[in-house]
Amino acid sequence: MSTFKPFPMLIFILKVCVFISLVAVKASTANETIEIGAIIDLNSRIGKEQKTAINIAVGNYNHDRRNKKHLITLHFRNTSKDTIQDLFTAEELVKQNHVKMIVIGMQTWEETALIADIGKRHQVSIISFVTASYTPELVLLKWPFLVQMTTSSLDQINCTSSVVSSYQWRKVIVIYEDDMYSDSSMLAVLTETLRGHGVEVEHQLILPQFSSLSDPREVVRREVVKLLRKQSRVFIVLRSSVSTATHLFKEAKELGLMGRDSAWILADSLADLLDSVDTAFISSIQGALGIKNHYAEATKSFQDFKGQFQMIFQSEYPMEDHPEPGIHALKAYDSITAFAKAVNSLGTKSSNDSVLLKNRFLSSNFTGLSGNISFVNGALSHHPTFRIVNVDGNRYKGLVFWSSKFGFSEVPEVENGERIWVDGSRTMKSSMVKWPGELKRVPKGWAMPTDSKPLIIGVPGRTSFEKFVKVETVAETNERKYTGFCIDLFREVLKILEKNYSLPYEFEPYNGSYPDLVQQLTNRNYDAIVGDITILAERTKYVEFTQPFAESGLTMVVPVKFDRSERAWMFLKPFTGIMWIATGAVLVYTMLVVWFMEHHSNPEFRGRWKDQLGTAMWFTFSSLFFAHRETIRSNYTKTVVVVWFFLVFVLTSSYTASLTSMLTVPRLEPSVKDIGWIKRTNATVGCDGDSFVKDYLRQVLELQNIKTISNQDDYPTELENGTIKAAFLEIPYQKVFLREHCNQYVVAGPNYRFGGLAFAFQKGSPLARDVSEAILTLTQDGTLNRLEEHWFALSKNCDNVRVDETESLTLGSFWGLYLVSGATSTVCLLFYVYHLFRKSRHLSGAFHDNIVHPSTDQSLRTNTAGIIRYNQNDKPTVSLRRVTSGRAAGLGVERGLSPKWHLVSPSDAAQIFDGSSQHPQVAIQLGNLRSD
C-alpha cells in the first residue's frame, strides 16, 4: 500500500473553503433538501472510516451539477454504550431532524434489530452493515425498512472451513468476543460446517466485551491459560475487536501458543483492519492467516476515492497511522451512493414517499467500490470474494482468492468490474505461507511433544501373549524394559518420522484391561497407546487409530482328533457324491453304446442277454484299469473307446493323487467343528479376560459359559483336562499359539473379522496420520514382514501340517471331459445307426425286385424293425434261395415248380450274397422260422 504524504495546510484550507462554497451554492439552487442520519462509533477505527466515506459520498453528490432537484444534509450521532440511549438518538433523528434514512454502525445484530423497529414504526430506511441472524426473507418480513449492506456470513464460514480442511487439521479452537447483544448463531453454524469437513471444535473460548472489563489484560490471560490444557493448536478468531485481540495475541505469544506447529486464522472482523492496525499488533500475529473481503483497487473510481479519503482522514484523525480506506469505508460510501441514485430516480416526485424511496433504493444495480450493489430480500445478492492473506513482516501478503463458486483460485472472480474465468481448487498451496515460528512445513496444529514435555505413551503392562508387548523390570537398575513386536515396530516408525521432526516420548505401562487402557487415552491421561490394540467401531468414536499393522479376527481353537470311522470310508473322499454319480452315468452310457455297436459284428458280444450284458459290463469296468481282453472290431467303437480311455486316465490319475494326499499328509481334524455345538451343549470356552473378546462372546455370539485365561501357557492345560472345550483367540494370538502347539490344536469354525491391530492416539491427533504413512512405508519396503517373521514365524515342524481338510474333487473340474466323452459316444452311435439304415434299405430293395414288388411307401416302423432284426443276427434262421433248373434237379426239387426256390440251411448263409453267381440271389429272413 502506498504511504500518504500530508498536504500543506494552506492548500488544504483552500480546498475546504471551495468545497463549502460549492455546497452552499448547490443548497441555494436545490428545490428540496433531504435529511439523513448516521449513528456511528466515532471513537473506533471503523467508525472513523465510515464517517469519512459518508462525508465524501454526500459531498460528491451535492457537488454534482446534474443533481439540481435535491440536496442531502448529514446528521452524525455517536453510539453509546447504553443501547437505550441509542434508541433515543434514533427517535430524535426521526422526529426532530426528519431524516429519510439512518445509517447505523452497530456491530451486533441485536442492537441493529432495535433500531430497525424504529425504522419500521416511522417508515424510515435503516442501513445496516451487520449480518442478520435470520434468513433475508424473514428479516424483510419482520423489518421491511431494514436494508442490509452485507451478505450472508455463511460464505465467510465456508471459506474458513475450506482453509482448515485444506491443511487437514482435525481439531480447532474458536475464539469469540461476546457481549450482551452478541449473536452466537455464527458459532453454531461454524461448528456444524467444520463437522461436515471432518473437523471437530475442541473448545470455544468466549471473551467478554472489551469495554465492559475493568482489567481486560487479567481477564484475557486467565481465559487464554485454559488453552494450554487443550491439544489443538489451530485457533480461529471468529469475532473480536482490535482492543481485545491486542491482549489476546500478546498473552498467547507469551504462553507459547503462537509458536511452531500453531496456526491462527483471522476472520474478516480483524483481517479487514490489517491495513489500519499499528505495527505492534502486526508483529504479535506473525504467520497468521487472514480472510479479507476482496475489492478491486485498480479501478479509477477507487483511486479517486482513495485520494479524497486520505486527505480528509489524515486531517481529521492525525493520530491514525494509516489513512488507507478499508472495506467498511467502501460499503459506507456505496450505501450513500445507492441512496443518492434512489433520490435522483424520483425526479420531480417528492421524497416524502418513504416506501417509494426505499423501493428505489432496493432496486439499485451498479458496481460500487465494494463490489456489485444489488439487493434480494433486502440484502446484497452477490456472493463475496475473499482474499486469503498471510501476515509477514510489517504488513501482509496475498496468497489466493476464495469464492463459493470456484473455491481457491489464483485470480479473483471479478476483475475491473468484469467477470472472468478462474481455475478453482479445493486446496491451498502452502509453499508461499510463512508460518508461526518460521516453520518450513505445514503446522501440525497440535500440541507437539518437546524434550520438557514428551509424548506420554501407554503400553499394556499385562498381556496374555508377550510376543506383542512385554514389560520387564531390570533388577540391577530397577528400570523397565519394553520388548515385543509392537515395540520394535514403533521404533521403526520413529526412524521415519525423525526425517521431518523429532518425537520425544516416554513409555508408561498400564496394568489394567485393554478397554480401560483405551479409556485412559480418551480421558487424555495418555497421548498415545503403543500395543496390540484392536480397531473397533465403538473405539473410533473417541480415539484416532493408525493404519492397521496386522489383521484382526476372532477364531476358535480346539484340540485335534482322529475319527477312525470316517477313515474307513476314506476311499470315497477324493470325489464328491455328484462326481461319483456323474462318473457312473458316463460309464453305463459308454457300456451300452459299445455293446450296441459291437453286438452285430463281434461274436464276443453275442449270446444270451445276460451273457451280453455281463460281457459289456466287464469290458467297460476292466477298461478303468486297462485290463480288458475283448477285441474291438468296429471303427465307430474304437473312436468311442479312445475318448473313454483318455477320460479314464485323467480320472484315475486325479483320484490317486487326491487319495494319496489325504492318506499321507498329516491332517488335523477339530474335535469341535462349529460354534453351534458349543451353544447346543452349553460347553465352556476360554478367552483373554483383559480384552473385549469376553463381551463379544457374550453379547454377539451369545455364549454363556466363558472362562477367562490370563496367560497363553494356561490354554493347553485347560483344553487338555476338558475344563474348556474351545479357546477363542484373535488371529495374531492364534498364530503365536499354533506356532508352539501346531500338532495338537487346530482352528475350527468361521473367522469373525475386526478392523485390525493398530496404535491409538487422541482424537484428531495429526500424529496418527504420520504414523499411518510410516507403517505403510514399512509395509512396502518389507520391514513389517521381517518383523513378523522374527516374532511370529511358524516352526519347521508345522510347515507340513494341514489345518484344513483336502477338498474333494468336484464335477466342476471334469465336466468338460464328461461332455466330450458323451458327445463322442452319441455321434458315433448316430453314424452307426445311419449305416445300418442304409444297408437295410439296400437289402429290402433287392428283395422287392425279385419277389414281392411291394409299394415304395414302406413305413419307418418297418425299416426300423428290419434294422433291429438285422442287428440281432445271433440265432439260426431259414432262408430261401433261387436256383437254376439244373441245380434244382440236383437238390431234389420237382421240375414243375416255378419259380425254383430252395430252403437254405444256416451253414450256407455265406453264399446268400455271393456275387460270383451268374444269377442274382436274394435271401429273405422268414421271421422266427427255424430249421430242424
Provide DSSP, 667-703.
B-EESS--HHHHHHHT--EEEETTSSHHHHHHHTS--
Residue ranges with strand state E in 678-771: 685-688, 706-709, 726-730, 745-753, 757-762
Give the C-alpha separation, 49 to 42, whole Å: 9
Quote the pLDDT of residue 235.
95
- Owner of C-alpha cell 471513537: 43
Decide: 173 and 202 in contact? Cβ < 8 Å.
yes
Give bridge partners of residue 726 from the DSSP assignment. Answer: 685
Element (H, E) at 599: none
Tell me the C-alpha distance between 120 and 51, whole Å: 24
> What one-character-per-residue DSSP string does 177-201 give?
E--TT--THHHHHHHHHHHHTT-EE
CA 636-637-640 angle, to 5 degrees, is: 95
pLDDT given for residue 163 in this prediction:
93
Q: Which residues of 817-839 are buried (b: 16+ CB within 10 A; e: fewer)?
A: bbeebbebbeebbeebbeebbee
AA letter at 583: T
Instruction: Please write the tens of the pLDDT for every residue from 264-321.
Output: 999 988 898 888 888 888 888 999 999 999 888 888 999 999 999 999 999 998 888 7
Contacts of 653 (CB under 8 A, 6+ apart): none
For residues 102 and 114, give the distance between their C-alpha atoms in angstroms, rounded to a whole number: 13
C-alpha cell belonging to residue 417: 468490474
Cell of 235: 485457533
User: What does each C-alpha distance from 17 to 21, 76, 283 come to in angstroms?
Assistant: 6, 21, 41
CA dihedral of 368, 370, 373, 377, whole degrees rounded to 10: -160
Specify the pLDDT at position 462. 83
Query: Residue 6 — φ and ψ, nearest 5°?
Result: -60, 140
Q: What is the pLDDT of residues 365-416, one digit of tens each?
A: 999 998 889 998 888 888 888 999 999 888 889 898 998 888 888 877 654 4
Measured over the CA atoms of residue 595, residue 599, residue 602 and residue 607, the dihedral's sign is positive
CB 552 within 8 A of CB 733: no
Q: Residue 899, preceding bond cis, omega within 30 degrees?
A: yes
Whole-number pLDDT of residue 486 = 93
Q: What radius of gyration do the chain's Cα atoms show?
A: 51
Q: CA torsion sign, 373 to 374 to 379 to 383? A: negative
What pLDDT does residue 854 have? 45
Alpha carbon distance 742, 91 (integer Å): 93
| pLDDT for the residue 234 | 94
Query: Which residue bears the cell 473437523?
Result: 199
Contact criterion met (CB below 8 Å) for 73 and 34? yes
The pTM (predicted TM-score) of the whole model is: 0.67
Contact 370, 412 (CB under 8 A): no
| Residue type at position 28 | S
Distance CA 733, CA 465 (A): 7
Can you read off the three cell numbers belonging to residue 236?
480461529
Whether the CB-CB separation of 291 and 159 falls below 8 Å is answered with: yes
Backbone region of residue 438 per phi and psi (left: phi > 0; alpha: psi in -120 to 50; beta: other values): left
Residue pair 536/761 in contact (Cβ under 8 Å)? The answer is no
CA nearest to 523, candidates 287, 763, 323, 732: 763
Residues in the chain where the model's pLDDT stays below 70: 1-31, 65, 67-68, 133, 179-184, 211, 347-351, 413-426, 430, 561-571, 599-607, 609, 611-612, 619-621, 623-633, 663-671, 673, 690, 793-808, 840-932
Given a contact cutoff of 8 angstroms between Cβ atoms, the answer to whether 535 and 755 are in contact is yes
Residue 425: what pLDDT? 64
d(CA 407, CA 296): 19
